Amino acid sequence: MYRTSSGELVKTLYSKKYGCSCVTFTHASQAVLYASKVGLIGQSNQRGPDLTARGFDSASTDPLSFPPSAQVKQPSKDPKKDHALRYHSLYNNEYIRYFMGHTAQVVNVSMDAVTDEFLTASADGTVRLWDLRTPACNGVIRCATTPCVASDLQGLIFAAATDDGELKLYDARKYGQGPFIDFQVGSVDPGTGKRPRVTCAKFSPDGEGLLCVAGGTMYIIDAFKGDELMRINVGAETGGMGQGKDAAGATGNNLEACWTPDNKCLLSGGADSRVHVWSAVNGSKVATWGSRHAGIPSSVRWAPGMMLAASACTEGGCALWIPKAGGGQ
C-alpha cells in the first residue's frame, strides 16, 4: 500500500501460503478484500503465518512480491479453502472473515458502491454474490466459461461477461430470475469462429454506458439496449493492448480500461508501455501520458473523488498521475 500524496510505500502484506490477487478496498478504508493465487506462483514447504504485515522495506519495490524467505506453500487438498477470499483488517492485521465457495482461481472482485455486498468471478465458471457481514454465499450464477463482473455505481445492476464475448445484465435485487438482457460484444473472428474474450467490464459513472475490453479493442455499449455505441481499436495506435497472463493464468490481451469521472474520456494502457487517454464522445486519442512504464500498463484506475489516476505495469511498477485540463498530465 502506498501513500497517494507522496508515493511512499506504507505497508506490504505477504500472503505466504496463498498469495494475493484482486486486492480491493472495502467501504471501510482500514480493511481490504483479496483472493488467493494458489497454483499461479512458486511453491515451497516454507512455514510461517498465512499473512504478516510489514512496514516500509527499502529492498522491496513490489508491494505484492515475495521475499526469498517467504515463498508460497503447496496448496491444500481442499480447493474451496485454496481459493477462498480473505477479508483483512489493516488496523490490527487480523482476518475478519473468510469467504469460501469457489473451486478455482478468482479472477475478478467487484465491490458494490453503496452496500457491503460484492461479486466475485472465478475460473470455475461461476459468479458468486456475497455480503461482508456474513461468510455464507448469497447466490451463484453459473456460466459456460470464465466470467468477469462489474457493478453499476448505484448498486442496482451488475454485468457478467464471458470468454465467448457474451454479456448479460442482471437486476441486483432479482438476479435469481436470470438476466434481463444479454448481447454479444465484438465481431466473430473468421479464423476461429469465435468472438473476442471480454477481460474487463466497467459501467460509466452515469450508469448509461458499459465499457468492455476484448481482444485489444475497447467497446462502449448502451447499458439499457445493448447497442454498440463505439469501438476504439487501441492496437492501431499503440501496438496493441499488450500480451501477458491474466489472473487465471491464460495468455492473451488482458488489459483494463476505465472511465474518467466526467464520463467524457477513457484511460487504457498499450503495448508501447504508455497510458493513453481516449475521447468517449468520438473515439479519438486525446493524450498520451508521461514516460514509458517498465512494462505494459495492464491496470489503470481512477481514484474516487480525486483528480488522481493510477497505473500498474506487468513488471511490478506503479505510477500516480495528476491530469491537467485537456487530458494531459
Q: What is the CATH number of the domain that holds 274?
A: 2.130.10.10
Give residue-wise pLDDT tens across range 67-107. 333 333 444 556 567 788 888 887 777 888 889 999 888 88
What type of residue is 246? D
107 within domain boundaries = no
End-of-domain residue from the set 100, 133, 163: 100
179 within domain boundaries = yes
Query: Are 85 and 150 in a shared domain?
Result: no
In DSSP terms, which residues pair with 44 in a beta bridge? 73
Query: Are 136 and 255 in a shared domain?
Result: no
Query: Are 198 and 322 in a shared domain?
Result: yes
67 within domain boundaries = yes
Quick one: how many helices (H) and strands (E) in the chain? 2, 29
308 within domain boundaries = yes
157 within domain boundaries = yes
d(CA 99, CA 52): 19
Query: Are 197 and 244 in a shared domain?
Result: yes
Pick from 39-43, 196-200, 257-261 the range whose average pLDDT is largest.
257-261
CA distances from 119 to 24, 107, 141, 206, 254 (A): 12, 11, 11, 20, 20
Q: What is the CA radius of gyration of the chain?
A: 19
Mean pLDDT value of segment 162-173: 86
Query: Are 248 and 268 in a shared domain?
Result: yes
Give residue-wise pLDDT tens across range 262-285. 899 999 888 788 888 999 999 999
pLDDT at residue 62 above 50? no
113 within domain boundaries = no
193 within domain boundaries = yes
End-of-domain residue from the set 184, 199, 230: 184
Under a CB-based contact definition with an 8 Å cutoff, are residues 76 and 56 in contact?
A: no
Query: Are 328 and 272 in a shared domain?
Result: yes
Count of beta carbons in the 10 Å neighbourhood of residue 221 = 23
For residue 74, the model assigns a pLDDT of 44
Query: Are 177 and 193 in a shared domain?
Result: no
Mean pLDDT value of segment 309-317: 77
Under a CB-based contact definition with an 8 Å cutoff, are residues 56 and 10 in contact?
A: yes
Residue 139 belongs to domain spanning: 119-184
d(CA 30, CA 83): 23
Query: Are 224 and 327 in a shared domain?
Result: yes
d(CA 142, CA 127): 6
Residue 109 has phi, psi (to 5 degrees) of -125, 130
Tell me the pLDDT band of 158, cut-offs 50, 70 and 90: very high
End-of-domain residue from the set 184, 207, 235: 184
Report which of residues 316 and 166 the model is more confident about. 166
162 within domain boundaries = yes
Find where cell 485540463 sits.
325
Query: Are 263 and 297 in a shared domain?
Result: yes
What type of residue is 75? P
Domain count for the chain: 3
pLDDT at residue 127 above 90? yes
Query: Are 128 and 180 in a shared domain?
Result: yes
Count of beta carbons in the 10 Å neighbourhood of residue 306 = 10
Query: Are 87 and 141 in a shared domain?
Result: no
Query: Are 37 and 128 in a shared domain?
Result: no
C-alpha cell at 258: 476505465
Q: What is the DSSP letter of 70?
A: -
The burial class, CB within 10 Å (0-12 / 13-18 / 19+), for 7 is exposed
